[in-house]
Amino acid sequence: MSVVVKEEIMESVRGFNEETVRAVSAARNEPAWMLEFRLAAWQQFEATPWPKATDESWRRTRLTGFKLENFQPVAMPDGATGRDALNTILQEELDEMDSAASLIFQNGGVIYRDVSEDLAGKGVIFTDLQQAVHDHPELVKQYLMTEVVKPDQNKFTALHAALWDTGAFVYVPKNTKVELPLQVILNHGVGVGGYHHTLLIAEEGAEVTVVDDLIGGENGMQSAVVELIQRDNSIVRYMNLQDFDH
């Protein structure tokens, strides 16, 4: 799914308010139900206090000096796609792995995708989450932040639900085995606030391996969420690699 964003929409997302959320949704031509999902999460974000050092789950995470407004909430895709749009680092990352399929994200959009016909023939869905919102709305409605991670879990999950930008959607049908890994690469920009979301559903007896590779520059923020939903006797291998030195 290619996202072309008008200049006025780009200006609207350079901040944090309800209009930001509406601009994010409009930029991606999202259906009304997804806008409602985002707006409800934004209301939750505004109503939820920031975590404190005395909170048990945040005792080892310091937010001193953290200012959300320092990070542009949504990076915008420039429209370039295909292997020629990949820099040397991304090409090397892509070639390092023998995968069944690959998705590469940069600046809020997909710049490369390679999904085999064999995978689709098995009923496996491997696509970006934005595309899944349009092509598989019933599955996204059922599983996105409804079981594993919910928007009201804390202030950051609410913010993520309101502003999620990139993401991978994986659905593996019953008793289906994906032999090779599914590869997801996110190139995260400098000074950007990113909200990457991985949503994986493995039905009964399914087997799949997913590798999330996050690459980023300095002074950025990545508030990612991973939801792995497994049914009986399914096998899911998930690896999250991070390299923020580039």
Over the stretch 20-63, which tens digit does the pLDDT of each residue have?
899 889 888 899 999 999 999 999 999 988 777 677 777 667 66
For the whole model, what pTM was predicted?
A: 0.86
Question: Into how many domains does the chain fold?
Answer: 1
Q: Enter the DSSP assignment of 70.
A: G
Residue 246 vs residue 85, higher pLDDT: 85
Residue ranges making up the domain that contains 92:
7-55+76-243
Residue 201 domain-assigned? Answer: yes
Most confident of 28-32, 75-79, 204-208, 210-214: 204-208
Residue 71 domain-assigned? Answer: no
Phi, psi of 83, deg, nearest 5: -60, -30
Over the stretch 130-173, which tens digit does the pLDDT of each residue have?
999 999 999 999 999 999 999 999 988 999 999 998 899 999 99
Residue 61 domain-assigned? Answer: no
Phi-psi region of 2 (alpha: psi -120 to 50; beta: other; left: phi over 0): beta
Residue 30 domain-assigned? Answer: yes
Residue 157 domain-assigned? Answer: yes
Residue 70 domain-assigned? Answer: no
Q: List residues bridging with 13 in a β-sheet.
A: none
- Contact yes or no for 203/232 (Cβ under 8 A): no
Residue 2 domain-assigned? Answer: no
Residue 1 domain-assigned? Answer: no
Residues 82, 88, 90, 93, CA torsion sign? positive
Most confident of 52-61, 172-181, 220-229: 172-181
Q: Enter the DSSP assignment of 55.
A: S
Phi, psi of 45, deg, nearest 5: -60, -45
- Contact yes or no for 181/211 (Cβ under 8 A): yes
Mean pLDDT of the region 54-79? 67
Res 6: pLDDT: 45
pLDDT at 235 over 50: yes
